[in-house]
Amino acid sequence: MSNILLSIKDIEVFYGPSQALFGVSLEVKEGEVVALMGRNGMGKTTTIRTLCKMSKPTKGDIHFDGTLVNKMPSHKVAKLGVGLVPEGRRCFANLTVEENLVAAQRDGEWTLEKVYQLFPRLEERKDQLANTLSGGEQQMLAIGRALTTNPKLLVLDEATEGLAPVIREEIWRAVKALKAQGQSILIVDKSLSELLPIADHCVILERGETVWTGTPDALTDDLADRYLGV
Ligand code: ATP
């Protein structure tokens, strides 16, 4: 049996006085792709923010690679091997593509060359400032940056949102290649037709709570209708 890389158990999170998470639990095993799903505002981004310690849980535990990370600052969690590609693809606007990648780099298999193999467009634009890239190229750079940290878990929050179809295809091709290489991935994406075929497990959130976990095969039309509004 593969090892559990990430275990989130029954976390509760508040934004000021208002409660956003009421009991989210999920697991990612090594080498798995886990899809975190649910309609808008159900708590997907808050769950990811909490994993990366940008929000603090008032209840529940988060273990990453065997370590309790509840009380750790976000840079320590990143160092343990959580590579976040946040919603909105933030990069250093006034650095070049290559400078962005180098700034994030840590020892490991993900060299600049390997990132450029995954996204040849980034190599073509390596001397260009990040703020002159198209939205899709910035997304590739955000994924490349996360990869150069050599993460044990890659976390993708709405990586294909708002992108042109051909760029979305390129991002999905890269995600599939990463899965094939055994990269563990926690992913939020609205495109179920792309997401479900690559997911090993799905976790559905409804009003800040995990309401269903299972394989994509077990996700019936009824469940999708009830929880995902499709
Ligand atoms: P979406 O798909 O729209 O991004 P989501 O499933 O990622 O949705 P969250 O963004 O985690 O959902 O939001 C969960 C709840 O927390 C929502 O009710 C939202 O309004 C609330 N929330 C999110 N961010 C904040 C914030 N910074 N301050 C206050 N409330 C927030």
- Ligand 1 nearest atom to the CA of residue 190, by list position: 2
Mean pLDDT of the chain: 94
Q: Is the C-beta atom of 168 inside 6 A of ligand 1?
A: no
CA-nearest residue for atom 29, ligand 1, is 15
* Closest residue to atom 19 of ligand 1, CA basis: 41
- 69 within some domain: yes
Residue 52: which domain range?
Answer: 1-31+38-81+188-230
pLDDT score of 53: 81
Q: Check if 38 has its Cβ closer than 6 Å to any atom of ligand 1.
A: yes
pLDDT of residue 75: 87
Task: Check pLDDT > 80 for residue 205.
Answer: yes
pLDDT in tens, 184-198: 999 999 999 999 999
86: in domain: no
Q: Reduce the secondary structure of 80-143 to three states and give it as a string.
A: HCEEEECCCCCCCCCCEHHHHHHHHCCCCCCCHHHHHHHCHHHHHCCCCEHHHCCHHHHHHHHH
Tell me the Cα Rg of the chain.
17
Tell whether ligand 1 has an atom less than 6 A from the beta carbon of residue 36: no
Q: What single string gives the DSSP state of each residue in the chain?
A: -PPEEEEEEEEEEEETTEEEEEEEEEEEETT-EEEEE-STTSSHHHHHHHHTTSS-EEEEEEEETTEE-TT--HHHHHHHTEEEE-TT----TTSBHHHHHHHH--SSS--HHHHHHH-HHHHHTTTSBGGGS-HHHHHHHHHHHHHHT--SEEEEESTTTT--HHHHHHHHHHHHHHHHTT-EEEEE-S-HHHHHHH-SEEEEEETTEEEEEE-GGG--HHHIIIII--
How far, in Å, is the centroid of ligand 1 from the Cα of 41?
5
- Selection from 6, 113, 18, 3 nearest residue 68 by Cα: 6
Q: pLDDT category, 229, cuts 50, 70, 90?
A: confident
Q: Which pLDDT score, from 0 to 100, does residue 1 have?
A: 52
- The pLDDT of residue 9: 97
Its ipTM equals: 0.93
Percent residues over pLDDT 70 in the chain: 98
The answer to whether residue 73 sits within a structural domain is yes
**pLDDT tens digits for range 23-82:** 999 999 999 999 999 999 999 999 999 999 888 899 999 999 999 998 888 888 999 999
- In the chain, the number of structural domains is 1
159 in a structural domain = no
Look at ligand 1, atom 8, and give the residue with the nearest C-alpha.
Answer: 41
Instruction: Read off the pLDDT of each residue in 188-214 and give the average, rounded to a whole number.
Output: 96
Q: Is residue 90 part of a domain?
A: no
Q: Would 139 be classed as within a structural domain? A: no
pLDDT in tens, 104-160: 899 899 999 999 999 999 999 999 999 999 999 999 999 999 999 999 999 999 999
* 225 within domain boundaries: yes
Torsion of CA 143, 43, 38, 170, to 10 degrees: -10
Whether residue 104 lies inside any domain: the answer is: no
Whole-angstrom distance, CA of residue 172 vs CA of residue 140: 11
Residue closest via CA to ligand 1's atom 2 equals 40
Ligand 1 neighbour 43 (Cβ under 6 A)? yes
